């Protein structure tokens, strides 16, 4: 999760959001309004529903990528949706990543870029796709993977989407090889787009190049999301085309980070060993830096868990054995093993990933499940291997709420159900926030008066209860009066929100609608409606 717009609101004020559409080379960037401000005011045509939600897609000439198959899905879904406001929200949200965030896409025939490539040693050849998060001109590994999720199912039949996603895998591959500890990246040098200036004063080890990296918070889930981008592509298309030498190199890089981050704070002779990764920021916000001079709180050995210095909110962990990304990584290692096997890749590597993934899953179950006096056996959010733990959940994904979505367990799992009860009520989760206007899980990133739409969407996607699903979706609809899904919303006043332009949340909204369309069409398409499935 990028830094809050509250903090960065002015950063992009002078830049434009869109490259010209590929079909309209004569449109100048200057002609397209800044999308952060465009998204902050309503535009017609309006929905005609009770909320009269606005139409917020940019002018076709200003969209950053266009796809006929995406337009078809919009038509198919919005024509079936009974609720006109929900339809308008889907119309804006589903294409939001393509409309506004494909900052650079290089086609397959571009052998070697003619633009200066001196800024880095990365190989920006062939298909490449650089995807910004929204209002910040940088690519987060996690956000971009999730921004593309909705389009993966279209890639099998639509070559332009296939190339877009394959390019995104290549681009993330280069990011991971060069700076595997970092969470957010600058436009590739081959794009010719200037790097964004960060105003933060950070001291980080290993050192990185700030024309390549936008921010270097080590988040285990960033690496799991890199793997997910590929495994999801394989699952949806059957293609193994991304298993290049560079991708295998990135995978080895990931594994060496996992090795280093499995090291405890004290070695077997009880001597302190400095972790390979340290981070300190000049800040007055506790969650923006690591204590003990950038090391973070001590972690015990022998757990088999992997440390994460930061959360997907980009807030520091309290205890480094942060459970949701460990669960996610265990799944992704095993899925990656399957892809390598399908590609007849190295057997020993596939077996190693398989073993490592299942052993990590066991470590999660062994060390994160604790007995709660009120809820019974539940998953802790973070542990330290000494017996200390944090009981809470944060809206950002991966979260405890999202464990079934991540394919770590079945949503009927009893420990999960206990955990879910705990984290979705005020008495069980300190970051479950409720007020007269809005409620849901929030987190320390924005503060104690703001709940996050993403958590309600995740609640809908992990529920079997029609009422809970509809209530969650309708609450998002009723609090997205600008026709787009925001980062967080003030629980007493829905007009106070953060981030008018946040592509990931819009992607999660569209995912939720598509999941309901497939599994419970009667909820949104009317009684006896047929399921709608993208294939």
Ligand X SMILES: *[C@@H]1O[C@H](CO)[C@@H](O)[C@H](O)[C@H]1NC(C)=O
Interacting residues with ligand X (CB under 6 A):
107, 109-110, 447, 449, 465, 467-468, 471, 490, 492-493, 496
Q: Give the residue with the Cβ less far from ligand X, 359 or 492.
A: 492
Least distance in Å: CB of 31 to ligand X? 22
Distance CA 466, CA 186 (A): 42
Compute how many other C-beta atoms are within 10 angstroms of the C-beta atom of residue 381.
25
Q: Give the residue with the Cβ less far from ligand X, 249 or 417.
A: 417
Q: Give the residue with the Cβ less far from ligand X, 382 or 393.
A: 393
- The residue written with tokens 């920006």 in the block is 124
Start-to-end CA span in the chain (Å): 30
Q: Give the residue with the Cβ less far from ligand X, 68 or 292.
A: 68
Least distance in Å: CB of 447 to ligand X? 6
> DSSP character for 489?
E
Query: Per 3-state DSSP, what percentage of the chain is helix, strand, and coil (rounded to 5)?
Result: 40, 10, 50
Rg (CA), the chain: 22
Answer yes or no: are the C-beta atoms of 291 and 269 closer than 8 Å: no
Least distance in Å: CB of 110 to ligand X? 5
Q: Give the residue with the Cβ less far from ligand X, 260 or 496.
A: 496
Distance CA 351, CA 346 (A): 9
Least distance in Å: CB of 277 to ligand X? 32
Cross-strand partners of 106: 128
Q: Give the residue with the Cβ less far from ligand X, 296 or 442.
A: 442
Q: Give the residue with the Cβ less far from ligand X, 352 or 421.
A: 421
Tell whether omega for the bond before 270 is within 30 degrees of 0, i.e. cis: no
- The residue written with tokens 């923006």 in the block is 288
Least distance in Å: CB of 466 to ligand X? 7
Least distance in Å: CB of 449 to ligand X? 4
Least distance in Å: CB of 467 to ligand X? 4
**Beta strand pairing status for 376-379 and 369-372?**
antiparallel
Distance CA 496, CA 449 (A): 10
């Amino acid at each position: 999760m990028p830094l809050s717009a509250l903090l960065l609101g002015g950063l992009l004020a002078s830049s434009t959001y869109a490259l010209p559409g590929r079909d309209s080379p004569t449109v100048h960037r200057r002609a397209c309004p800044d999308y952060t401000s465009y998204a902050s005011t309503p535009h017609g045509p309006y929905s005609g529903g009770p909320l009269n939600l606005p139409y917020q897609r940019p002018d076709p000439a200003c969209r950053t990528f266009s796809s006929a198959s995406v337009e078809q899905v919009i038509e198919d879904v919005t024509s079936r949706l009974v609720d006109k406001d929900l339809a308008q929200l889907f119309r804006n949200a589903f294409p939001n990543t393509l409309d506004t965030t494909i900052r650079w896409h290089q086609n397959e025939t571009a052998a070697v870029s003619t633009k200066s490539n001196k800024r880095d040693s990365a190989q920006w050849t062939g298909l490449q796709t650089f995807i910004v998060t929204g209002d910040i001109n940088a690519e987060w590994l996690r956000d971009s993977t999730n921004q593309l999720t909705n389009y993966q199912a279209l890639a099998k039949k639509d070559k332009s989407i296939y190339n877009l996603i394959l390019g995104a895998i290549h681009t993330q591959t280069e990011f991971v090889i060069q700076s595997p500890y970092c969470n957010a990246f600058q436009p590739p040098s081959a794009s010719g787009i200037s790097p964004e200036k960060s105003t933060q004063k950070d001291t980080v080890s290993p050192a990185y190049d700030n024309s390549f990296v936008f921010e270097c918070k080590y988040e285990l889930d960033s690496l799991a999301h890199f793997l997910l981008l590929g495994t999801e592509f394989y699952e949806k298309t059957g293609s193994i085309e991304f298993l290049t030498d560079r991708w295998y190199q990135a995978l080895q890089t990931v594994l060496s980070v996992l090795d280093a981050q499995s090291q405890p704070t004290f070695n077997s002779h009880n001597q302190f060993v400095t972790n390979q990764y340290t981070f300190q920021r000049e800040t007055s916000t506790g969650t923006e830096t690591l204590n003990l001079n950038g090391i973070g709180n001590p972690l015990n050995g022998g757990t088999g868990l992997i440390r994460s210095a930061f959360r997907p909110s980009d807030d520091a962990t309290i205890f480094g054995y942060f459970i949701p990304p460990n669960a996610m990584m265990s799944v992704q290692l095993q899925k990656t093993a399957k892809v390598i096997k399908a590609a007849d890749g190295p057997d020993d590597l596939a077996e190693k990933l398989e073993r490592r993934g299942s052993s990590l899953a066991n470590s999660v179950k062994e060390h994160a499940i604790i007995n709660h006096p009120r809820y019974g056996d539940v998953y802790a959010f973070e542990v330290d291997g000494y017996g200390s733990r944090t009981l809470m959940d944060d809206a950002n994904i991966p979260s405890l709420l999202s464990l079934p979505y991540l394919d770590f367990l079945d949503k009927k799992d009893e420990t999960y159900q206990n955990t879910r009860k705990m984290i979705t009520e005020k008495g069980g989760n300190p970051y479950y926030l409720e007020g007269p206007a809005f409620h849901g899980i929030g987190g320390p990133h924005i503060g104690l008066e703001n709940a996050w739409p993403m958590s309600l969407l995740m609640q809908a996607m992990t529920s079997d209860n029609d009422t809970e699903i509809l209530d969650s979706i309708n609450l998002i609809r009723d609090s997205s009066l600008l026709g787009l899904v925001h980062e967080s919303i003030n629980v007493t006043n829905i007009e106070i929100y953060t981030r008018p332009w946040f592509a990931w949340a819009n992607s999660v909204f569209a995912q939720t609608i598509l999941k309901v369309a497939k599994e419970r069409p009667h909820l949104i398409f009317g009684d006896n409606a047929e399921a709608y499935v993208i294939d």
